[in-house]
Structures are given as C-alpha cells and as structure tokens.
C-alpha cells in the first residue's frame, strides 16, 4: 500500500472513530435507562426500516426513470440503490466509492458503461436539486415556528450557496465537463492498454442525451422528493411510537436540516456523530427535548444497520453469483472440473 492511500484510510478511520465518540458521548448524556427500555420494546425500528426500504425503492425508480428503454428492470435499479446506501452507511468509504458500487451493479444488470455512468451522474444531480428544494421547505417551515432573524440569515445564505453550487454543476455538465474525463481515460489507455475499451465511452454525449428528456428528469425529481418526504414520515412514526406525536411539518424540519448536515459531513464515514448532533439541534428548534431527539437519532442509526446489513449480504451474494457464473461460462462446454475424472452431469449444469 502506498503512502497516500494509507494516509487517506487512516484519516477516514480517525474521522469515523471521532464520530463514534461524539455519538456515544451525546447518547450518554441525553438518554436515560427508561429511554433505552422504550427503544428496545418499541415497534419503531421495524416500521421505520420497512418505510426506509420503500424510500430506497423510490430513489431506485428515480434513477431508472431517466434511462431510455430498453433498460433493466426497476428491481435492478432498486437493488443497486439499496446496496449503494448500505455501503455508504456501513462501510468506511466515501460517497464516490458507494456510487462506484452502484455503477458496477448497473453494468452487471445490462447497462453499457457510458449509459450507466451518465445516468448515475444525472440522477445524483437531480437528487441534489430535490434535496435543496426539500431543505428550503424545511427552512420555510422552521421560520413559521421560530421567526428569528439570525436563523433566517443563516438559512438564506445556505440556500443561496446550495443554489449556486447546483447551477455551476449543471453548467459544467452541459458545457462538456465530462469531455475532460474522456480525455483522461484516453491518456490512461495509452499507458495501460487494458483500459482501451473505456476510450469508447461517450459520457458527454450520453449525458446531454439524458438532459434532452425533461419529462423523465421531472418524473425522477418527483420520485426523489417523495422519498425525502417519506424520510420525514419515518420521524413521524418514531415520535408516535415514543408517545410524542408531532405534526408532519415539524418532522420535515428535522429531516431536512439533519439531511443537510449529513451531506455537509460527507468526509466522516456514515456521518457518524454529525447526524446525531444535527437531529438534536434541529429537534430543539421545533420543541423536541434532547432525550426524544436522541431517541430519533438512535433509531435512524439502528435503521441503517437493520436495512444495511441485508443490503451488504445481497451485494456479496450478487458478486459471488456473477463470479461463479463467469467461471462456468468461460469453460468449454462439457469440460470437467479440475481434479474430476468425469464431466459433471447435466443436472449440475
């Protein structure tokens, strides 16, 4: 392992440990024994986990909608999205690493590399736009609950910065930013001939073609925005289960602001500690006690494990199945396995 990757891994491990320490410290001071008993006996975790899977299915549909037919089934897109979220939540890699896992899965499902990459880029852009809109909705509702000038200025500055970032991102994409990636792949292929197939990718052309389907992009945006609202529904279910029912508007505020903080803390694996602090702060702004807000944060973290572990197991099963199938397909038909004197019977094939 070279020095640079090693330093990067150590930095991410350090950030993860710091996040765990922050989350544990906040939980230690905010939760009581009775809260933990309530958490262990509540129906909140299974209900929220099931709703979270529906949310991931919506995001998978959002991705699949922007791909031109013929395309893989929506189950393939949901599966890739579920695994991507599981990797991002439980594996100490960056969001880019989780996206590369989804890219690989979509290619195994039958998408050409350039179509898969372009659609994933556009889907991430639409996701970012809808998150900005959702956060703006959260700030608007927060101003209704707490019309404070300081909060208004901070919220307006945040929304302005996010809008400028999205506008620049879209302009770069449509202006040919991916041509730089194509040129980089060509240079790499001259040094490593095994990468020559990548030089045939038409990333810019594919992305521009997807931008020319505004109705598909709009439908994808609605799927994403609906998924963010389901995230607020998760908080509503938690508070109902804990005996502290709240209106949906307050839940939108907590979900949108904590989502923004999680995105801002992308350097910390799984946003450990960042999400917990954000939920407590946002909950306090709408009147939730620190104990109740911390319960919400704990359920969110446990939900990630309950939904994420099966996602990681599914990922490993898919990779193992592909490798086994590839080895079998690569053998001459009827060739015996190594160490066997007789070919496998027809039933084993």
> In this structure, what is the dihedral angle of CA atoms 74, 79, 85, 91, given to the nearest 10 degrees?
-160
Map residue 32 onto helix, strand or coil. Answer: coil
220 φ, ψ (degrees, to nearest 5): -60, -40
Walk along the chain (349 residues) and give the pLDDT tens digit of each residue.
455 555 555 555 555 555 455 555 555 455 555 455 455 657 888 999 999 999 999 999 999 999 988 899 999 999 999 999 999 888 877 677 888 899 999 999 999 888 999 999 999 999 999 999 999 999 889 888 776 657 777 778 888 898 999 999 999 988 888 878 777 767 766 676 665 566 667 888 889 999 999 999 999 999 999 999 999 999 999 999 888 888 999 999 999 999 988 877 666 666 676 788 888 888 888 888 888 888 888 889 889 989 999 999 999 999 887 777 655 444 444 444 433 334 444 443 3
Predicted pLDDT at 344: 44
Residues 244, 249, 252, 257, CA torsion sign = negative
Chain center to CA of 250: 23
Task: In whole angstroms, give the CA distance from residue 314 to residue 220.
Answer: 25
- The region that residue 269 occupies, defined by phi over 0 for left and psi between -120 and 50 for alpha, beta otherwise, is beta
Closest residue by Cα to residue 95 from 74, 72, 120, 64: 120
Tokens of 51: 């709703």
pTM of the model: 0.82
Closest residue by Cα to residue 218 from 113, 1, 65: 65
Contact (CB, 8 A) for 273 and 19: yes
Map residue 72 onto helix, strand or coil. Answer: coil
129 φ, ψ (degrees, to nearest 5): -60, -45
Task: In whole angstroms, give the CA distance from residue 286 to residue 141.
Answer: 10
Tokens of 38: 């309530």
DSSP string, 127-169: HHHHHHHHHHHHHHHHHHH---HHHHHHHHHHHHHHHHHHHHH
Task: In whole angstroms, give the CA distance from residue 101 to residue 83.
Answer: 8
Closest residue by Cα to residue 158 from 257, 231, 251, 224: 257
Closest residue by Cα to residue 255 from 89, 138, 84, 95: 138
Task: In whole angstroms, give the CA distance from residue 59 to residue 131.
Answer: 12
């Amino acid at each position: 392992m070279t020095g640079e990757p090693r330093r990067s891994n150590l930095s991410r491990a350090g950030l993860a440990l710091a996040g765990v320490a922050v989350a544990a410290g906040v939980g230690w001071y905010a939760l009581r024994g009775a809260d933990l008993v309530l958490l262990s006996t509540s129906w909140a975790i299974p209900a929220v986990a099931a709703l979270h899977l529906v949310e991931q299915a919506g995001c998978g549909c959002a991705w699949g909608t922007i791909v031109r037919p013929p395309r893989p089934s929506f189950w393939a897109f949901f599966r890739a999205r579920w695994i991507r979220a599981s990797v991002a939540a439980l594996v100490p890699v960056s969001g880019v690493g989780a996206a590369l896992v989804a890219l690989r899965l979509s290619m195994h499902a039958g998408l050409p590399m350039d179509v898969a990459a372009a659609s994933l880029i556009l889907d991430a852009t639409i996701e970012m736009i809808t998150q900005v809109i959702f956060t703006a909705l959260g700030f608007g509702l927060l101003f209704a609950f707490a019309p404070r000038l300081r909060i208004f200025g901070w919220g307006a500055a945040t929304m302005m910065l996010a809008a400028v970032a999205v506008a620049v991102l879209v302009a770069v994409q449509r202006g040919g930013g991916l041509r730089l990636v194509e040129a980089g792949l060509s240079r790499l292929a001259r040094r490593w001939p095994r990468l020559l197939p990548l030089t045939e990718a038409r990333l810019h052309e594919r992305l521009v073609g997807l931008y020319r389907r505004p109705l598909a992009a709009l439908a994808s945006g609605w799927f994403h925005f609906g998924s963010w609202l389901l995230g607020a529904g998760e908080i509503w279910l938690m508070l109902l289960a804990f005996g502290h029912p709240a209106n949906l508007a307050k839940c939108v505020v907590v979900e949108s602001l904590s989502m923004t903080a999680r995105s801002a803390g992308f350097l910390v694996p799984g946003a450990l500690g960042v999400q917990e602090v954000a939920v407590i702060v946002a909950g306090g702004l709408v009147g939730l006690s620190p104990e109740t807000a911390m319960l919400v944060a704990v359920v969110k973290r446990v939900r990630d494990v309950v939904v994420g572990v099966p996602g990681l197991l599914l990922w490993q099963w898919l990779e193992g199945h592909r490798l086994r199938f590839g080895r079998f397909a690569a053998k001459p038909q009827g060739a015996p396995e190594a160490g066997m004197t007789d070919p496998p019977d027809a039933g084993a094939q």
